[in-house]
Amino acid sequence: MMYYSNLHIQFKKGCVLTFLFSSILLAGCASTDVAKTEASAAEVAAEQQNPADPYEHINRKIYGFNDKLDKYVAKPVSDAYLWVTPQFVQTGIANFFNNLNDISVILNNTLQGKFEKGAEDTGRFLLNSTVGLAGLFDVAKEVGLEKHQEDFAQTLAVWGVPEGPYLVLPVLGPATTRSVPGVVVDTATNPVSYVGYPVQVLSLLNSRANAEGSLKFIDEAALDPYVFTREAYLQHRKYLIKDGEIEVSHDVADLEDAFYEDEEESFGVVETTDRMDADNAKPAEQENLAKTEGYTLKLSADKNGFSQASESFEDALKSFQEASQSYQEASKKLDQIKH
């Protein structure tokens, strides 16, 4: 049940961006199960589909390809890298690329109207690039400036672009149609894209090495690595878009429905009083609606897009107010320090 706790310990232990990279880069998980799951792909496509994954049939094939690529190429190389490189060098390299990634984080925070976070990340970048010796040391974290995870796909989401169907890209791994332009912009805003290929290779090695923990975890825990990766990826992306402030109860309603579902016919294992309450049924219905949002968005993108855009404008305004408030508080504190 609680596989996830460890997954996330490993996520965190690997690197801040571990999951993202694990998904983006060769999201295989060296498992022999893949052949079996592949075999069932046709049936899966024929059977009832997950509305978020209409191309499951082809996605599974690409997933299988990525998996093999990872198993026979990326993993051996990455293992060798991990074996020859001392831990502190690995950390330094990871920090270095994280620091370069902060440029894109700053840009996307700004584009999303998160000025306060943008300011923090600017601080991070300046501090780490100077005191942190070109990013080799994450000194900003020591002062309390945690890294944020932002990318252009998240910006698009905040702007109201619908998520679109789930895709598995060759070599690159899990994505949605929304994240495809995201990848392009992120690549363009990452300085690594403009330097020689030795640095790029190192960057890839670093990404794969940092994803090792998560990939190993998926391999150990997943009964169907394809489905596991898809669900975890889609959920984690949603979480990132909301900056971790997702209201859990929102997502939980659907599961609560499932909780009662099997009781409708069985001998009341649990309390039955509030089950069919009109008041209670209503929010559940709304939650269900919300759940299919990704799907309906496709049909009525304009309306939803508009409301999301206006919401994001409100968010931007709020964040601007927060920023100015904290400026005031900061100057007050500074005055106190002076006296």
CB atoms near residue 284 (< 10 Å): 15
* Residue 189 main-chain phi, psi, to 5 deg: -95, 0
Q: Could you give the CA distance from residue 201 to residue 25 in angstroms, rounded to a whole number?
A: 12
Query: Interface residues for other proteins in 241-280 (CB under 8 A)?
Result: 242, 244, 246, 248-249, 251-256, 258-262, 265, 269-271, 274-275, 280
Furthest CA-CA distance within the chain: 74
Q: Which is nearer to other proteins, 120 or 212 (CB)?
A: 120
306 scored as a contact of other proteins (CB under 8 A): no
The answer to whether 92 touches 137, Cβ cutoff 8 Å, is yes
Q: List CB contacts of 213: < 8 A, sequence separation 6 or more.
A: 10, 11, 13, 14, 18
Q: Give the separation between CA 78 and CA 171, rounded to whole angstroms.
A: 15
Q: Which is nearer to other proteins, 70 or 121 (CB)?
A: 121
Q: Binding-site residue total for other proteins (CB under 8 A)?
A: 80
What are the tokens at 65?
């390809």
Shortest spacing between CB 188 and other proteins, in angstroms:
27
Q: Which positions from 218 through 237 interact with other proteins, judged by CB under 8 A?
A: 220-224, 227-228, 230-232, 235-236
User: 201 to 220, contacts with other proteins by CB under 8 A?
Assistant: 220
Kindly state the DSSP code that residue 193 receives in the 8-state scheme: G
Interface positions, 54-113, toward other proteins (CB under 8 A): none
In this chain, which of 62, 103, 119, 139 binds other proteins, going by CB under 8 A? 119
Q: Nearer to other proteins by C-beta: 194 or 247?
A: 247
Please say which residue, 303 or 333, places its beta carbon nearer to other proteins. 333
Q: Which of residues 18-47 bind other proteins (CB under 8 A)?
A: 33, 36, 40, 43-44, 47
The yes or no reply on residue 7 touching other proteins (CB under 8 A) is yes
Beta-bridge partners for 173:
169
Based on CB atoms, which residue is closest to other proteins, 260 or 295? Answer: 260
Q: Nearest to residue 44, comparing CAs of 298, 227, 254?
A: 227
Q: Does 298 bind other proteins (CB under 8 A)?
A: no
Instruction: Give yes or no for residue 4 binding other proteins (CB under 8 A).
Output: yes
**Is 224 within 8 Å of 37 (Cβ atoms)?**
yes
318 binds other proteins (CB under 8 A): no
